[in-house]
């Protein structure tokens, strides 16, 4: 495409749209209709230039013009409680449900890797010796040792806030770094499973695996599920870069990226719940069965929420993306 010819052919339309926007409060009905038509036409022009002959200066000018026109046509919109309710009952569970073919296998494979690591460490003294000196390992695994006091060594509220921050950061990294073909996500997953496997292996070798599970399961079920969802979504985002399907790569990444951002917010809420359990339930004086029972109920509640509300929302056409009128204008494509 000859950019100079294209600009010459459409400059008058852009100038006219700019003039209408400057006096938008005093437009007649005919002028308002003209503004809408010019906005749609200019949005198409912008998409054509971006895809065929990108020019930073011209793209910047048209982007600003389209944004101003869109604001004028659609009006300023404020978030409301309706948006919060829609996000919690449709958008977030739909996004998680749609990603189930990625995060469910991720959870199964990661758990298997962690179990194998725990078995390997627990049954091989030479591996334990490579991790630390025998006296140090005994200090970690003995009754009242560091594995047990870890959960009660800080004030519950401060500990819950710290745990939530760390886990939310890990989940966000999985979602953000997935665009790099998913490789950083695999490393984050491996680090988490290695830490879990080391703890299980060392406590198992000391004959205290039941104690370890009693400390980890109350919060770990929901916490790890959130991490698996984030990792699976990150891997799907990385695969979208490789194979966007019938969509253009830009459109596919935009759609999946917007859903991933929304998912990050929802997972932060899920991890807040798991952090509260880890801060208040895990170190409590409740019997082990009661603490694990709370963790199981939280996990079942989340899975029911995802597969019931999320499945229903997806069947109704929700993809976890923002509503259609909030998306950027795109070039119409031929069928």
**Which of 54, 74, 94 corresponds to the end of one domain?**
74
Residues 121 and 227 in one domain: yes
For residue 146, is it within any domain? yes
Please indicate whether residue 87 or residue 109 has the higher confidence score (pLDDT).
109
**pLDDT tens readout for residues 3-27:** 788 888 888 998 988 888 888 777 7
Q: Residue 221's closest CA among 292, 117, 132?
A: 292
Kindly tell me the burial class for residue 164, based on how many C-beta atoms sit within 10 Å of its own C-beta (0-12, 13-18, 19 or more): buried
| Residue scoring higher pLDDT (176 or 76) | 176
Structural domain contains residue 203 = yes
Residue 334 lies in a domain: no
pLDDT of residue 157: 67
**pTM, entire model:** 0.71
pLDDT at residue 193, as a whole number: 92
Q: What mean pLDDT is predicted for residues 287-297? A: 94
Same-domain status, 137 and 32: no
d(CA 141, CA 310): 41
Mean pLDDT, all residues of the chain = 84
Whether residues 102 and 69 fall in one domain: no
pLDDT(174) > 50:
yes
pLDDT tens-place string over residues 26-62: 778 788 888 888 888 898 888 888 877 777 788 888 8
Can you give the pLDDT at residue 330? 47
Are 49 and 90 part of one and the same domain?
no
The answer to whether residue 120 is domain-embedded is yes
Q: Provide the 3-class DSSP secondary structure of residue 210.
A: helix
134 with 156, same domain?
yes
Give me the residue label for tokens 């919690």: 88
**How would residue 321 be classed by pLDDT, with cut points 50, 70 and 90?**
low
Is 335 part of a structural domain of the chain? Answer: no
Measured between alpha carbons, how far is 30 from 28 in angstroms, rounded to an integer?
Answer: 5
Report how far residue 228's alpha carbon sits from residue 103's, in angstroms, rounded to the nearest whole number.
6
> Domain of 289?
82-326
What pLDDT, on a 0 to 100 scale, did the predictor assign at position 194?
92
Residue with tokens 């990792």: 231
Q: How far apart are CA 257 and CA 227, in angstroms?
A: 17
Band of pLDDT at residue 332, cut at 50, 70 and 90:
very low
Domain identity same for 8 and 98 = no
Q: What sign does the CA torsion over 31, 33, 37, 40 have?
A: positive
What whole-number distance in Å separates Cα of residue 258 and Cα of residue 17? 29
**One domain for residues 94 and 197:** yes
Q: Is residue 77 pLDDT above 70, yes or no?
A: no
Q: Is residue 148 domain-resident?
A: yes
- Model confidence at 226: pLDDT above 90: yes
The pLDDT, as a whole number, for residue 335 is 36
Is 318 part of any domain?
Answer: yes
> Given this model, what pLDDT does residue 334 score?
38
Six-digit token pair at 82? 């309706």
Could you count the other beta carbons within 10 Å of the beta carbon of residue 30?
8
Of the residues 74, 101, 120, the one at which a domain ends: 74
Confidence at residue 329, expressed as pLDDT on a 0 to 100 scale: 45
Q: What tokens does 293 get? A: 């029972």
User: How many structural domains comprise the chain?
Assistant: 2
- Both 68 and 92 in one domain: the answer is no
Mean pLDDT within 244-266: 81
- Whether 69 and 196 map to the same domain: the answer is no
Q: How confident is the model at residue 318 (pLDDT cuts 50, 70, 90)?
A: confident
Q: What percent of the chain has pLDDT over 90?
A: 32
The 10s digit of each residue's pLDDT in 139-165 is 888 887 777 777 766 666 666 677 677
Last residue of a domain, one of 19, 49, 74: 74
- 131 is a domain residue: yes
54 and 138 assigned to the same domain? no
The pLDDT assigned to 285 comes to: 84
pLDDT at 229 > cutoff 70: yes
Indicate whether 145 and 276 sit together in one domain. Answer: yes
Both 67 and 107 in one domain: the answer is no
């Amino acid at each position: 495409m000859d950019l100079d010819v294209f600009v010459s052919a459409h400059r008058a339309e852009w100038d006219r749209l700019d003039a209408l926007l400057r006096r938008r409060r005093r437009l007649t009905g005919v002028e308002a209709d003209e503004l809408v038509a010019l906005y749609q036409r200019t949005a198409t022009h912008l998409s054509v230039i971006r895809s065929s002959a990108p020019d930073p200066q011209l793209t910047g000018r048209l982007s600003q013009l389209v944004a101003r026109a869109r604001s004028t046509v659609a009006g300023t919109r404020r978030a409301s409680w309706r948006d919060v309710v829609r996000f919690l009952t449709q958008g977030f569970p739909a996004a998680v449900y749609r990603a189930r073919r990625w995060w469910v296998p991720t959870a199964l494979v990661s758990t298997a890797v962690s179990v194998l690591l725990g078995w390997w460490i627990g049954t091989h003294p030479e591996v334990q010796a490579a991790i630390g000196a025998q006296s140090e390992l005994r200090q970690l695994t003995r009754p009242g040792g560091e594995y047990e006091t870890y959960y009660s060594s800080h004030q519950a509220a401060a500990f819950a806030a710290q745990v939530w921050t760390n886990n939310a950061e890990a989940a966000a990294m999985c979602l953000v770094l997935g665009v790099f073909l998913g490789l950083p996500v695999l490393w984050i997953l491996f680090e988490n499973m290695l830490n879990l496997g080391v703890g299980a292996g060392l406590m198992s070798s000391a004959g205290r695996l039941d104690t370890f599970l009693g400390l980890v399961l109350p919060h770990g079920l929901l916490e790890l599920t959130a991490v698996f969802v984030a990792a699976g979504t990150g891997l799907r985002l990385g695969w979208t870069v490789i194979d966007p399907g019938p969509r253009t790569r830009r459109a596919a990444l935009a759609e999946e990226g917007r859903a991933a951002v929304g998912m990050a917010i929802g997972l932060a809420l899920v991890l807040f719940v798991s952090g509260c359990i880890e801060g208040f339930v895990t170190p409590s004086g409740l019997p082990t069965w009661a603490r694990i029972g709370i963790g199981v109920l939280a996990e079942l509640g989340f899975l029911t929420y995802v597969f019931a509300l999320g499945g229903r929302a997806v069947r109704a056409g929700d993809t976890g993306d923002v509503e259609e009128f909030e998306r950027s204008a795109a070039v119409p494509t031929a069928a």
